[in-house]
C-alpha cells in the first residue's frame, strides 16, 4: 500500500507543481514519456529503498539488544537490508539509463553504449550515479555476507555507508543550480540525512514489532530521542533551503512553493504524531512490556499512520527535485 501511496503522491505533485513531463516542441530532441515518467519513479524507488536500508541498519547498530543475535533478529535485519540495498542498486542502474536518454534527447530505444558512457564520464550527475551504483552493490553484497557470518561485526561501517548512499543525490539536485551552491548542498544533505534516519528508523521499528515484539519497547525508547533530533534538523534545514533556493516570492507564487507548503503540512502532522508517541504509546510499551503482543498494537497503528504520511511526503519530495521555481 505504501508504495502505491508514494507513487500517487509523486504523480499528483508533478502535475500540481508543473514538473510533469511534456512533449518537446516539434523539431527539438525528445526523450519520450517513458524517460520523462520513468526518471522520477526510479528516483522514488531508490529513495525508498535507501531509506529502508538505513533504518534496518539502525537496528543492529543502535537499537537491538545482544540477545537478538541468538534469536536471529540481528541476522534477519541484515538480510532484509541487503535486499533493500539491492533494490536501490537496480533503481540507480535504471536512473543511469534514463538520465542518459534524457541528456541525449532520445528515447531509450535509440540509445547506444556511447551515450551511456558519455553521460557517466562527462557529467557530475553521471559520476554521482556511478558512485551510488558501486556503493549500493557493495553494500548489498557485504550485508548478505555479514548476515551469514553472524559474527556481530560491521554494523557501523554498513550504517555509515548507507548514509553516504542516501545523501549523494543531494549534491546534484536543485542545490547544484543555486547561487550559494555549497551552502544549499550542505543544507539539502542535512535534510536528506535527517529524513532517512527518521523515516527509516520508524519503518524499522514497525518491522521489529512484527519480528521481535519483545524488543520493541527498548528499541522504540532509544529511537525516540533520535527522532526528535531528526525532526528539528529536518524542519530547520528544510525552511532555510527552501528560502535559499526559491526566496519568498517563489514560496508564495509558484508550484514549487505549493509543494513545499504541502510538505510543511505533512511535517507538522508528523511532529504531532511524534508527540503522541512520546506521551502515550511509549509509556504504554514501557509499562506493559510483559505483554508486548498486546501493547505493540497502539504503537504500530500510529507508526503506520506516520509511514503513510511519510510516503506522501517522499513522493512530493521527489517531485520537488523536478519542479521549476
Cell representation of residue 139: 553494500
Q: Which residue has the higher pLDDT, 283 or 249?
A: 283
Residue 69: per-residue pLDDT: 67
The CA distances from residue 84 to 74, 78, 172, 199, in Å, are 16, 10, 23, 15
Alpha-helical regions (H) of the chain = 2-17, 33-58, 68-71, 73-104, 113-122, 124-149, 155-167, 181-211, 216-253, 255-276, 282-287, 292-320
With 90 as the cut, is the pLDDT of residue 49 above it?
Answer: yes
Residue 153, φ and ψ in degrees, nearest 5: -120, 150
**106 within 8 A of 31, measured Cβ to Cβ:** yes
Using CA atoms, how far apart are residues 121 and 273, in angstroms rounded to an integer? 45
pLDDT of 176 higher than 60: no
Q: What is the pLDDT of residue 173?
A: 58
Nearest alpha carbon to residue 289 among 223, 224, 214: 214
197-248, pLDDT tens digit by residue? 999 999 999 999 988 888 888 899 899 889 999 999 998 888 887 777 766 6
Q: What is the mean pLDDT of residues 241-257?
A: 70
Residue 275's pLDDT band, with cuts at 50, 70 and 90, is: very high
Q: With the C-alpha atoms ordered 317, 57, 76, 293, is the resulting torsion angle positive or negative?
A: negative
Task: Give the range among 24-33, 148-157, 266-275 with minimum mean pLDDT.
Answer: 148-157
Question: CA 262 to CA 234: how far, in whole Å?
Answer: 15
pTM (two decimals): 0.91
The pLDDT value recorded for residue 102 is: 92
CB of 175 closer than 8 Å to CB of 181: yes
Q: What is the pLDDT of residues 231-243, one digit of tens each?
A: 999 988 888 877 7
Average pLDDT, the chain: 86
What is the percent of the chain where pLDDT is above 90?
49
Please give the pLDDT value at position 12: 93
Indicate the burial class of 182 (C-beta count within 10 angstroms; 0-12, 13-18, 19 or more): exposed
Q: Output Rg (C-alpha) for the chain, integer angstroms.
A: 20
Residue 81 contacts residue 200 (beta carbons within 8 Å): no
Q: How far apart are CA 227 and CA 222, in angstroms?
A: 9
More confident residue, 227 or 22: 227
Cell 508528523, located at residue: 270
Q: Which three cell numbers stand for residue 317?
A: 519530495
Q: 282 and 302 in contact (C-beta within 8 Å)? A: no
The predicted structure's pLDDT at residue 1: 82
- The answer to whether residues 162 and 50 touch, using CB atoms and an 8 Å cutoff, is yes
Residue 290 has pLDDT above 70, yes or no: no
Amino acid at each position: 500500500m505504501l508504495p502505491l501511496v508514494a507513487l500517487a503522491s509523486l504523480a499528483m505533485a508533478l502535475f500540481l507543481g508543473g514538473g510533469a513531463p511534456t512533449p518537446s516542441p516539434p523539431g527539438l530532441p525528445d526523450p519520450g514519456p517513458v524517460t520523462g515518467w520513468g526518471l522520477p519513479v526510479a528516483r522514488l524507488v531508490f529513495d525508498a529503498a535507501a531509506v529502508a536500508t538505513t533504518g534496518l541498519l539502525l537496528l543492529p547498530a543502535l537499537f537491538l539488544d545482544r540477545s537478538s543475535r541468538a534469536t536471529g533478529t540481528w541476522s534477519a535485519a541484515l538480510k532484509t537490508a541487503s535486499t533493500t540495498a539491492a533494490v536501490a542498486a537496480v533503481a540507480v542502474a535504471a536512473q543511469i539509463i534514463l538520465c542518459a536518454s534524457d541528456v541525449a534527447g532520445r528515447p531509450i530505444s535509440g540509445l547506444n553504449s556511447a551515450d551511456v558512457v558519455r553521460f557517466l564520464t562527462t557529467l557530475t550527475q553521471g559520476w554521482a550515479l556511478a558512485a551510488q551504483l558501486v556503493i549500493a552493490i557493495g553494500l548489498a553484497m557485504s550485508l548478505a555476507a555479514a548476515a551469514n557470518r553472524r559474527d556481530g561485526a560491521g554494523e557501523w561501517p554498513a550504517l555509515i555507508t548507507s548514509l553516504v548512499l542516501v545523501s549523494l543525490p543531494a549534491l546534484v539536485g536543485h542545490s547544484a543550480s543555486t547561487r550559494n551552491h555549497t551552502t544549499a548542498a550542505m543544507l539539502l544533505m542535512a535534510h536528506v540525512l535527517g529524513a532517512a534516519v527518521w523515516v527509516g528508523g520508524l519503518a524499522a521499528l514497525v518491522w521489529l514489532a512484527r519480528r521481535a515484539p519483545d524488543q520493541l519497547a527498548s528499541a522504540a525508547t532509544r529511537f525516540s530521542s533520535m527522532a526528535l533530533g531528526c525532526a528539528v534538523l529536518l524542519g530547520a534545514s528544510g525552511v532555510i533551503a527552501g528560502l535559499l533556493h526559491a526566496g519568498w516570492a517563489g514560496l508564495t507564487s509558484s508550484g514549487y512553493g505549493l509543494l513545499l507548503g504541502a510538505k510543511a503540512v505533512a511535517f507538522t502532522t508528523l511532529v504531532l504524531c511524534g508527540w503522541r508517541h512520546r506521551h502515550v504509546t511509549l509509556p504504554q510499551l514501557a509499562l506493559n512490556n510483559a505483554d508486548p503482543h498486546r501493547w505493540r498494537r497502539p504503537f504500530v497503528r500510529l507508526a503506520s499512520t506516520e509511514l503513510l504520511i511519510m510516503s506522501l511526503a517522499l513522493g512530493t519530495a521527489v517531485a520537488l527535485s523536478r519542479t521549476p521555481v
